[in-house]
Structure 1
Amino acid sequence: MIQVTNLTKRFQDFTALEHVTCHIGSGCIYGMVGSNGAGKSTFLRTLCGVYQPDDGQVLIDGKAVWDNPEVKRRIAYVPDELYFLPGASLERMARMYVSLYPDFDAQRFWKLCEQLQLPRKKSLGQFSKGMRRQAATILALACRPDYLFFDETFDGLDPVMRNFVKKLICDDVLERGASAIITSHSLRELEDICDQLALLHKGGLVLESDIENLKTSQFKIQIAFREPYEKSKFEGIRISHFEKSGSVSNMIVSGDRNTIVEKLNAMEPILLDVLPLSLEEVFTYEMETLGYTFQIDGMTEEEHK
């Protein structure tokens, strides 16, 4: 289990993470979304002991990560900005990983290299961006770690390769009980693979939830009445978003669906439709209730004034 408590990380001119708290269990795929600059990379680098926390703590199975080689050997980290030894080939990188990770599975690594058609002796500097990402990912998976951290995992991969990498990660989690944390600025990349999703905004964790709960606890209501009405008509119902055009309103509602629909039907509307929400809509409307606008798949975000 990963326990992050009041984690704060500062640099000279800004605070990258501020009072972040979360618990990530074993056998879990934990997705973290946020635009560039939200603090995702700093979060992962602090979790794997590249950065030392300024405040708070990071524990993996009850042990601090910073300056702890024993714990670090159980972690594999694929950063957003990949690094390989200068001039190194896959063969040279594999030898280095064998020396660092006692459980490195060379047989699995070379099998994956064959599947991906990655040349063993060619310099990684001559690989394309996507091939370099593939190489870093399978090196991490071949370490057979208990904890896998991926920063912008799918960047540079084509759709077929993205699905292949997703399957590899899922297999490790299901078969070995490993835990994976995957960051991305694209919610669509994560919603079909993660058990939990979190939203990091300006260094703070502003939303975290089980993905099934996110999908089932909120829904869209389209409703209309003959008589004039306002939002106050729906007092007692948790509404995170409300728009009214003429006599028809669209609402994003949270709670027990059957109970809410029964209550609305008792108001005798002339129109009542219940519609499912995409995960992207759920995150967008939740952010609105927190006072933010957030472009899930874009590069910008701003706080409501």
Structure 2
Amino acid sequence: MIKVNNVVKTFDGFRALDGLTMEVEKGSIYGLVGPNGAGKSTILRHITGIYRPDSGTITVDGAPVYENPAVKSRVAFIPDDLYYFLSASTRDMMKFYRGLYPAFDDKRYQVLKEAFPAVDEKQPIRRLSKGMQKQSAFWLALCCNPDLLVLDEPVDGLDPVMRRQVWSLLMGDVAQRGTTVLVSSHNLRELEDVCDHVGILSRGKVLLQRSLTDLQDNVVKMQIVFQEPEMPKLPEDLNLLHVTQVGRIHTLIVRGSSDVIKSRLAALQPILMEALPLTLEEIFIYELGGEDYAVRDIML
């Protein structure tokens, strides 16, 4: 669906994207995560055709998106900072979008009115609260029936009930229409519940991208206790990311297969050993810890 190849973008001498390469499969929910300034919003604006790369290529279904109305008519974008015409209401924007998106569904607009009952469709959007503005944005975007929906901090400002409502609608479109969703968010716990693929950005590049299942299977948290308070020398071939100790419990974050790691540590004859799954937030922290990110000594 989306292919980004070696994209570079510079703003006033600052290299925001530094040879970024990534790929998003059709019908997937792809979570884009990274620290502030990693380039998340910048690459989203390239994928939606707002920015033109200095070099490299970006295609959606094999076609370039920049200055390509045919591709853009299949893409809906909800940015972090929403913008609408100053006096426009949700109903006004519905009429505007209807002229831009050939697949705009008037019947769905009426149906989704029940999903967002608190939004006054005749009230100027700029006078609505931040949460109401986000609800209006989702209402309109979903009615466009896009093949690709790009979201930047999409549920920021929404209450927990509305967050669940929005994600339910999105996942329904993915399941029924094969919609592709590319979402950037700092709420990693929420992404963990909905994403099937994840890409981690740092300094304008993608550090790694893979399915969430593969990502979680490749990094293991081991809690281990030995007869003596001190931990014996570990096997040199362990790909150790982090070590902490609380009392007699040693916590090791190790990259690799859980079965292989347990087998190697069992040779040290621990009196207690347990493998625990890592959350996406923990994976994010430890992967970026290897990039000198300022979280090396955080203990989870």
TM-score normalized by structure 2?
0.91
Is 1:75 aligned to residue 75 of structure 2?
yes
Read off the aligned partner of 2:151 and give its amino acid letter.
F
Deviations, residues 100-158 of structure 1 (Å, cap 9, x unaligned): 01110111122212331122222212211111111111211111111000111011111
Is 1:183 aligned to residue 184 of structure 2?
yes
The alpha carbon displacement at 1:232 in A equals 4.6
CA distance 1:10–1:231, shift in 2 (3 Å): farther
CA distance 1:191–1:129, shift in 2 (3 Å): same
Deviations, residues 158-181 of structure 1 (Å, cap 9, x unaligned): 111111111111111111111111
The alpha carbon displacement at 1:294 in A equals 4.9
CA distance 1:126–1:256, shift in 2 (3 Å): same
Residue in 1 that maps onto 2:159? 158
Deviations, residues 49-86 of structure 1 (Å, cap 9, x unaligned): 11001011101111111111111111001111111122
The alpha carbon displacement at 1:248 in A equals 4.6
Residue in 1 that maps onto 2:292? 291
CA distance 1:123–1:226, shift in 2 (3 Å): closer
The alpha carbon displacement at 1:240 in A equals 1.5
Determine the C-alpha separation between the residues in 1 that align with 2:232 and 2:107: 62
Partner secondary structure for residue 175 of structure 2: helix
TM-score normalized by structure 1?
0.90
Deviates more, 1:62-71 or 1:241-250: 241-250
Residue in 2 that maps onto 1:238? 239
Determine the C-alpha separation between the residues in 1 that align with 2:87 and 2:246: 63
Deviates more, 1:204-213 or 1:18-27: 204-213
The alpha carbon displacement at 1:6 in A equals 0.6
Deviates more, 1:270-279 or 1:171-180: 270-279
- Report how many aligned residue pairs link the two structures: 295
Determine the C-alpha separation between the residues in 1 that align with 2:246 and 2:17: 41
Q: Percent identity?
A: 43
Determine the C-alpha separation between the residues in 1 that align with 2:68 and 2:41: 20
Determine the C-alpha separation between the residues in 2 that align with 1:268 and 1:100: 67
Deviates more, 1:146-155 or 1:85-94: 85-94
Unaligned runs of 5+ in 2: none
1:6-155 superposed matches below 5 A: 6-117=6-117, 118-155=119-156
Partner secondary structure for residue 30 of structure 1: strand
1:220-235 superposed matches below 5 A: 220-226=221-227, 232-235=233-236
Determine the C-alpha separation between the residues in 2 that align with 1:195 and 1:274: 23
Determine the C-alpha separation between the residues in 2 that align with 1:165 and 1:247: 45
Partner secondary structure for residue 193 of structure 2: coil
Determine the C-alpha separation between the residues in 1 that align with 2:115 and 2:226: 60
Unaligned runs of 5+ in 1: 296-305
Residue in 2 that maps onto 1:298? none
Note if contact 2:33-2:198 (Cα within 8 Å) is conserved in structure 1.
yes
The alpha carbon displacement at 1:225 in A equals 3.4
Determine the C-alpha separation between the residues in 2 that align with 1:197 and 1:44: 15
Determine the C-alpha separation between the residues in 2 that align with 1:19 and 1:242: 32
Q: CA RMSD in A?
A: 2.0
Determine the C-alpha separation between the residues in 2 that align with 1:291 and 1:140: 38
The alpha carbon displacement at 1:281 in A equals 1.3
Determine the C-alpha separation between the residues in 2 that align with 1:197 and 1:249: 29
Determine the C-alpha separation between the residues in 2 that align with 1:178 and 1:151: 17
Partner secondary structure for residue 53 of structure 1: coil
Partner secondary structure for residue 264 of structure 1: helix
Note if contact 2:27-2:178 (Cα within 8 Å) is conserved in structure 1.
yes
Deviates more, 1:253-262 or 1:55-64: 253-262
CA distance 1:46–1:75, shift in 2 (3 Å): same
CA distance 1:186–1:266, shift in 2 (3 Å): same
Partner secondary structure for residue 37 of structure 1: coil
Is 1:200 aligned to residue 201 of structure 2?
yes
Note if contact 2:33-2:184 (Cα within 8 Å) is conserved in structure 1.
yes
Residue in 1 that maps onto 2:264? 263
Determine the C-alpha separation between the residues in 1 that align with 2:232 and 2:184: 37
Note if contact 1:113-1:119 (Cα within 8 Å) is conserved in structure 2.
no
Partner secondary structure for residue 274 of structure 1: strand
The alpha carbon displacement at 1:245 in A equals 6.1
Residue in 1 that maps onto 2:173? 172
Partner secondary structure for residue 83 of structure 1: coil
Determine the C-alpha separation between the residues in 2 that align with 1:92 and 1:116: 16
